[in-house]
Structure 1
Amino acid sequence: MHATSRTLARTLTAVALAALACVVAGESRAANPLELNFWLSGPRYDAVVPLCDEPAPLMKIQDRFGQKEYRFWNSDLKIVGFDRLHEVSFMPWASGTIPRRFCSGRVLTNDGHYRTIHYSIAEDTGMIGSTFGVEWCVVGLDRNWAFNPSCKMARP
């Protein structure tokens, strides 16, 4: 029983050290005098948003499109390729809003059809604000009408 207590103590010590290392390793910035007590300025955006044809946002769209089709529509439809991708607009709204890059192009689905896609890539809107987020709409496959009519609401 005494050996078990030592093992537990070592495990807890290791977990505490790992947590401390994570806290210390993270980059931090001290609050300025206005932020200390009575005024918070809100998020600071750097307008660092991936380009329309970068692989990371396209892979998110591809993966999530397949998941959505399978889970909610009982369909095996998948995106197998992207074509004619271009930027439509970057930060089209007032300053201080979340930086977004609006893009359009075509997708090739595994049924052999090319379809128009409209998507936006936004800074810090991904998982818990730690990365970019992507919203998209494939014209003709907006089955729940989230961006209706004809994906118009996915454009700027």
Structure 2
Amino acid sequence: MRRAFIRTALVSLACLAGFAHAEAAGRRHVAPPDRAEERIVPMYGDLPGCTDPAVLSELTSWFNSRESTYWGPLQALSYDRIAQIGYRPWGDDMIPRRFCTARLMLNNGVYHRVDYSVRENLGLFGMTWNVNWCVAGLDRELSYAPDCKMARP
């Protein structure tokens, strides 16, 4: 009886230590059956990087299309100061996302910050990754207000 109590106490302490470690890292503790990799349709987090030409090309294409259709003559020309600001920040059971930020130069010569995320299985028919983005100062419908904060982790 006493051994069972000690064993239970040790297991409880080990679990609490694991939760404390996850909390300190800013992530929730996830039991193995709930991880995204172990779902019926698994998600592995194999996402292209922030500087990947395919990611920047998709971002440019969507931005240029939106601007020419709705708002006017602005077009994306180039990116610099590209940096990753988060990878799966909400834990292993959420859809894998890579959060990035960069400086975008437009055809009017003005630089804007662009915050974007590469998200797994949210592309066409859930077969591939896609990009979600917000350009600071050009979020005219305030979808990610204030100042694109909601596009960041």
Scaled to the shorter chain, the TM-score interval is 0.7 to 0.9
Amino acid across the alignment from 1:46: Y
Task: State the TM-score, normalized to the length of structure 1.
Answer: 0.72
Give TM-score scaled by structure 2 length.
0.73
Listed as ranges, the gaps of 5+ residues in structure 1 are: 1-40
Corresponding residue for residue 83 of structure 2: 86
Q: Which amino acid aligns with 1:47?
A: G
Residues in 2 aligned to 1:121 and 1:64: alpha-carbon distance in whole angstroms: 14
1:133 alignment partner in structure 2: 130
Residue equivalent to 2:147: 150
Q: CA deviation at 1:56?
A: 0.4
How far did residue 71 of structure 1 move?
1.2
Specify which of 116, 125, 144 is matched with residue 113 of structure 2.
116
Show the counterpart of 2:68.
Answer: 70
1:42 aligns with 2:49: no
Identity over aligned pairs, percent: 38
Larger radius of gyration: 1
Partner SS for 1:70: helix
How much does 1:42 deviate? 3.4
CA-based RMSD: 0.9
Letter in structure 2 aligned against 1:90: Y
The Cα offsets for residues 79-115 of structure 1, whole Å up to 9 and x where unpaired, read as: 1000000000100012221100000010000000111
1:12-50 deviation per Cα after TM superposition (whole angstroms, max 9, x unaligned): xxxxxxxxxxxxxxxxxxxxxxxxxxxxx4320111001
State the 4+ residue runs in structure 1 displaced beyond 4 angstroms. Answer: none
Q: How far apart in 1 are the matches of 2:87 and 2:104? A: 21
Partner of 1:10: none
Deviations 1:50-86 (A, max 9, x none): 100000010011011011111122x111110000000
